[in-house]
Copies of this chain bind each other. A is one copy, B any other.
């Protein structure tokens, strides 16, 4: 009996996965984490109104979700100030990224990103056979000018820029992004990942017309809205581009509870404000804990903080492993010199108490 005949492309793909989930780490260590601070989830939770909407909608799960996510798109468009036709709802930014890459990237097509930026984007590019070109970070920031220069050099169809950035938490002003756009080569789409935009200072979101065919923005309910497990995000882009997703997307792919929850969450401005305040407090506390341990926290416009462990990537990895072994789930950048940091998500006071308790031991263990 023979094996199925995989495509040539699939045969070249590695079997490793972008991220191991915390549950798998918990099964491996035989105990739950004491503080779940590794995936930039919102420990402050979703809006109570969103929880209520999801709970009510649980009774309606016998029905498929509306494949056009009409009501949610209408609310998003009204809130953002664009047309419904400029909005696409999808299964989180990860799902939207996969479909965008599929629309544009055939085997060998050039794509540009920063070396050390979002691995799941790279995973999708590899998965469709794209040729990924990377430029280094500059002073722990993604480097828009270098990205666009590289895009021109390799004739890229797509260039990825997260603003604010993950994993470093750094950011550019929206006006700088707009200015950089002047250098975007013809036929190259800028994918602007704004997963963390709600945590960033005023003026970080680039004011770009939704119908500008050069840019697609992606946003999510996973971070500030605290609904990572609901898997719902959205894209803002030119209507022709948005419509083109209909050629390939999983039309009935949206979870009804996620649709209902996102609609309620987007409407709950007070909860968003509350979360923003909690995140700002948690960033300060993480910086303080870092300082008390002789480490330096980098400035952050996100719901996490990159903490410079003061040595090389191997040392930061040792700190990370020691934290994980002591029940604190964190992650870290993969690429030097950013890999000298560990990345700690903002948590509630009780989560950060655990961090404060464990970090000195973890540093000792890593040094010992």
Interfacial residues, chain A to chain B (CB-CB below 8 A): 1-10, 13-15, 17-19, 21, 23-24, 27, 36, 39, 41-46, 51, 54-55, 57-68, 70, 91-92, 94-95, 98, 102-106, 109, 120, 127, 157-158, 186-187, 189, 212-214, 222, 226-231, 240-241, 243-244, 246-248, 250-258, 261
For this complex, 14 residue pairs linking A to B, each with C-beta atoms less than 8 Å apart, are A1-B213, A5-B187, A7-B105, A7-B106, A44-B62, A61-B227, A62-B229, A92-B253, A94-B252, A95-B250, A95-B253, A231-B254, A231-B255, A255-B255
Q: Does the CB pair A2–B104 fall under 8 Å?
A: no
The answer to whether residues A51 and B59 also contact, given A64-B21, A94-B253, A255-B230 and a CB cut-off of 8 A, is yes
Query: Which one of B5, B14, B44, B252 contacts A21 once the chains associate, using CB atoms below 8 Å?
Result: B252
Query: Which one of B58, B95, B243 contacts A55 once the chains associate, using CB atoms below 8 Å?
Result: B58
Residue of chain B at shortest CB distance from A7: B106
Contact partners of A57 in chain B: CB under 8 A: 229
Query: Which one of B65, B70, B213, B261 contacts A2 once the chains associate, using CB atoms below 8 Å?
Result: B213
Contact partners of A251 in chain B: CB under 8 A: 17-19, 21, 94, 120
Q: Does the CB pair A92–B252 fall under 8 Å?
A: yes
The answer to whether residues A243 and B15 also contact, given A1-B214, A6-B103, A257-B257 and a CB cut-off of 8 A, is yes
Q: Does the CB pair A67–B231 fall under 8 Å?
A: no
Contact partners of A9 in chain B: CB under 8 A: 106
Q: Does the CB pair A212–B58 fall under 8 Å?
A: no
Q: Does the CB pair A229–B94 fall under 8 Å?
A: no
For residue A157, give the distance in angstroms from its CB to the closest CB of chain B: 5
This chain: how many copies in the complex? 2
Residue of chain B at shortest CB distance from A21: B67
Q: Does the CB pair A248–B3 fall under 8 Å?
A: no
The answer to whether residues A70 and B243 also contact, given A248-B10, A257-B229 and a CB cut-off of 8 A, is no
Contact partners of A58 in chain B: CB under 8 A: 46, 51, 54-55, 58, 257, 261
Query: Which one of B4, B68, B253 contacts A104 once the chains associate, using CB atoms below 8 Å?
Result: B4
Residue of chain B at shortest CB distance from A44: B62
* Complex Cα spacing A252 to B232, Å: 11
Given A6-B103, A46-B61, output 16 extra A-B contacts at Cβ < 8 Å.
A2-B187, A2-B213, A3-B213, A4-B103, A5-B157, A13-B247, A17-B251, A24-B66, A41-B62, A54-B257, A62-B228, A62-B229, A91-B91, A127-B247, A229-B257, A231-B255
Contact partners of A39 in chain B: CB under 8 A: 63-64
Q: Does the CB pair A103–B7 fall under 8 Å?
A: yes
For residue A72, give the distance in angstroms from its CB to the closest CB of chain B: 12
Q: Does the CB pair B63–A41 fall under 8 Å?
A: yes
* Complex Cα spacing A322 to B62, Å: 25
Query: Which one of B51, B55, B63, B231 contacts A229 once the chains associate, using CB atoms below 8 Å?
Result: B63
Contact partners of A106 in chain B: CB under 8 A: 7-9
* Complex Cα spacing A17 to B275, Å: 39
Chain B CB count within 10 A is highest, among A18, A61, A67, A127, for A61
Residue of chain B at shortest CB distance from A24: B68
Q: Does the CB pair B157–A4 fall under 8 Å?
A: yes
* Complex Cα spacing A15 to B240, Å: 11
Chain B CB count within 10 A is highest, among A36, A41, A186, A258, for A258
The answer to whether residues A4 and B247 also contact, given A64-B39, A227-B62, A256-B230 and a CB cut-off of 8 A, is no
